[in-house]
């Protein structure tokens, strides 16, 4: 079974550790997204898995086989992987047909077998009518599908995708997200998908690995990552969140802007400083103090933007912290007016760091 395992993987360029002790297990047939801002080491990790570069430390195992270690790295062509590149990397001097058939020809398969397989995958990806065209004559979406077809036709154990949708326009990108997921559900290759777009990760992934500065910040299902961010970075990067800081009182309470806040789940660190995150739209904005004063923070509206379906507020608490609040479009509070923020305890996530 093609379980992919990264063990304490390190890639250093000079003194800079681009990938810094990453360990990760990807089960057979799973689609894992490496998600993070540019420069977080996600593409380097992917290229380490592909074998284009060799690790400084640690190892990569595919199935029972160690494919990369500082001592020995198996050449990319022997890893039985496929990859879809950010640029698609379609060969401009080959037709669609030739591009797709390339990997099969390298495997010296029968001419007829090659033809049948290529036909099948071109039908699958709705490219049959373009088989004699050159990549330059195709639209972006079509090129993208050729790249997919070319990668899938060789029936890899492992499929690697490097920002595959970043060159498409917004509409097409949304459509292709589902297409990637659909194809994955059909073929069930072990897949590593690199992206900086959280929506893409949410749609496609079985599991998301959030990376930052060469390290893994958090691993989990899309829902876990969203609902229970464990660090400020994850909280901010996924979906956007306010970070509230203050002295910790006990395992469930902290003080913020003169108000005691109760936290829903994870334990607040007891080292004196606490931080919690709350999503923009989880904060309720009230025009008058509510009856229950629990988790209610008074504030003042600093700015308000009408976004059609909703309103985006910037409010400032008494201690000067600015928070973003997204509400329905119905109620409008003018800048300068006093408001009360209700932070439901179940939406307040204590952060580890």
Partner 1 sequence: MTAAVAAGLPGRLGRVDLSRPVVLLLAAVLCLLIVLPVSWLVYFAFTDRDGLPTFANFAPLFSDPAYTEPMITTLVISVSVGLACAAVAAPMGWLVARTDVPFARTIRSLIMASFVTPPFLGAIAWEILAAPNSGMLNQWYRELTGAPPDQHLFNIYSLTGVIFVIACYTFPYVFVLVANALERIPGELEDASSILGGRAWHTARRITVPLALPALLAGCLVAFLQAMTLFGSPAILALPAGFHTMTTKIWSLFQYPPKPGLAAACSLPLLLLTVVLLRAQHMILGRRSYQVIGGKSGAPRVIRLGPWRWLALAVCLIVLLNPVFLPYLGLVKAAFTHVFSQPLTLKNLTLEHVDFVFFEFSSTRLALKNTFLLGILAATLGSGLALVIAYATARRVVAGYRVLDFFATAPVAIPAIVLGVGLFLAYTRPPFVLYGTLSILLIAFVTIQLPAAYQQLQSAFRAVNPELEEASRILGATRLQALRHITAPLLRSGVIAAWCFIFIGTIRELSAAIMLFTADTKVISVVIFDLNENGHLGPISVLGILMLVITFAVVTLANRLHGSGAWRGQRVTG
From 23, 70, 91, 306, residue interacting with partner 1 (rule: CB under 8 A): 91
311 scored as a contact of partner 1 (CB under 8 A): no
Asked whether 131 and 95 are in contact (CB, 8 A), the reply is yes
From 25, 85, 266, 352, residue interacting with partner 1 (rule: CB under 8 A): 85
Shortest spacing between CB 48 and partner 1, in angstroms = 13
Nearer to partner 1, 164 or 239 (CB): 164
From 74, 124, 286, 310, residue interacting with partner 1 (rule: CB under 8 A): 74
Asked whether 82 and 159 are in contact (CB, 8 A), the reply is yes
Q: Which stretch binds partner 1 (CB under 8 A): 107-115, 167-175, 259-267, 293-301?
A: 107-115
E strands, 27-96, in order: 31-35, 57-62, 65-68, 81-84
Taking the C-alpha atoms of residue 267 and residue 130, their distance in angstroms, rounded to an integer, is 58
Pull the structure tokens for residue 82: 């496929």
Nearer to partner 1, 90 or 326 (CB): 90
**Edge to edge, what strands does the sheet with 65-68 contain?**
16-26, 4-13, 57-62, 65-68
The residue written with tokens 């989990």 in the block is: 220
Q: Which stretch binds partner 1 (CB under 8 A): 106-114, 173-181, 210-218, 341-349?
A: 106-114
Nearer to partner 1, 61 or 203 (CB): 61
The residues in 226-255 that bind partner 1, with binding defined as CB under 8 A, are none
Q: Which stretch binds partner 1 (CB under 8 A): 34-42, 146-154, 210-218, 327-335?
A: 146-154
Burial 82-105, CB ≥16 within 10 A → b, else e: bbbebebebeeeebbbbbbbbbbe
10 scored as a contact of partner 1 (CB under 8 A): no
From 56, 61, 69, 80, residue interacting with partner 1 (rule: CB under 8 A): 80
E strands, 75-203, in order: 81-84, 158-162, 190-195
87 scored as a contact of partner 1 (CB under 8 A): yes
111 scored as a contact of partner 1 (CB under 8 A): no
Instruction: Please report the DSSP string for 191-202 in residue order.
Output: EEEEES-HHHHH
234, burial (CB in 10 Å: exposed 0-12, middle 13-18, buried 19+): buried
The radius of gyration computed from the CA coordinates of the chain, to the nearest angstrom, equals 24
Taking the C-alpha atoms of residue 228 and residue 241, their distance in angstroms, rounded to an integer, is 12
From 71, 136, 307, 334, residue interacting with partner 1 (rule: CB under 8 A): 136
Shortest spacing between CB 166 and partner 1, in angstroms = 13
The residues in 157-176 that bind partner 1, with binding defined as CB under 8 A, are 157, 160
66 scored as a contact of partner 1 (CB under 8 A): no
Taking the C-alpha atoms of residue 182 and residue 104, their distance in angstroms, rounded to an integer, is 23
138 scored as a contact of partner 1 (CB under 8 A): no
11 scored as a contact of partner 1 (CB under 8 A): no
Nearer to partner 1, 26 or 234 (CB): 26
Binding site for partner 1 (CB under 8 A): 2, 50-52, 62-65, 74-83, 85-87, 89-95, 98, 101-109, 134, 136-137, 150-151, 154-157, 160
């Amino acid at each position: 079974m093609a379980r992919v395992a990264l063990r304490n993987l390190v890639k250093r360029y000079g003194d800079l550790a681009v990938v810094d002790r990453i360990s990760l297990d990807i089960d057979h047939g799973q689609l894992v997204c490496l998600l993070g801002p540019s420069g977080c080491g996600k593409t380097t990790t992917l290229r380490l898995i592909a074998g284009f570069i060799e690790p400084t430390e640690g190892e990569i195992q595919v199935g029972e086989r160690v494919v990369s270690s500082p001592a020995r790295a198996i050449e990319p062509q022997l890893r039985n992987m496929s990859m879809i590149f950010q640029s698609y990397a379609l060969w401009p001097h080959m037709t669609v047909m030739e591009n797709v058939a390339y990997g099969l020809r390298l495997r010296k398969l029968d001419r007829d077998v090659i033809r049948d397989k290529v036909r099948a995958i071109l039908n699958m990806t709705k490219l049959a009518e373009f088989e004699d065209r050159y990549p330059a004559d195709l639209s972006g979406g079509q090129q993208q599908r050729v790249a997919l077809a070319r990668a899938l036709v060789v029936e890899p154990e492992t499929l690697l995708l490097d920002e595959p949708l970043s060159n498409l326009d917004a509409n097409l990108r949304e459509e292709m997200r589902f297409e990637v997921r659909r194809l994955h559900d059909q073929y069930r290759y072990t897949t590593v998908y690199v992206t900086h777009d959280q929506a893409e990760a949410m749609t496609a992934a079985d599991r998301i690995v959030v990376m930052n500065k060469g390290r893994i910040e958090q691993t989990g299902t899309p829902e876990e990552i969203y609902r229970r961010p464990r660090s400020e970075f994850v909280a901010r990067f996924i979906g956007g969140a306010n970070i509230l800081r203050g002295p910790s009182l006990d395992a469930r309470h902290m003080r913020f802007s003169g108000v005691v806040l109760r936290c829903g789940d994870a334990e607040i660190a007891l080292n004196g400083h606490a931080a919690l995150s709350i999503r923009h739209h989880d904060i309720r904005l009230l025009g008058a103090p509510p009856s229950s004063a629990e988790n209610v923070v008074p504030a003042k509206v600093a700015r308000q933007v009408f976004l059609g379906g909703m309103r985006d507020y910037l409010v400032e608490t008494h201690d000067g912290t600015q928070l973003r609040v997204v509400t329905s479009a119905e109620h409008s509070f003018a800048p300068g007016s006093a408001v009360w923020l209700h932070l439901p305890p179940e939406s307040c996530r204590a952060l580890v760091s």
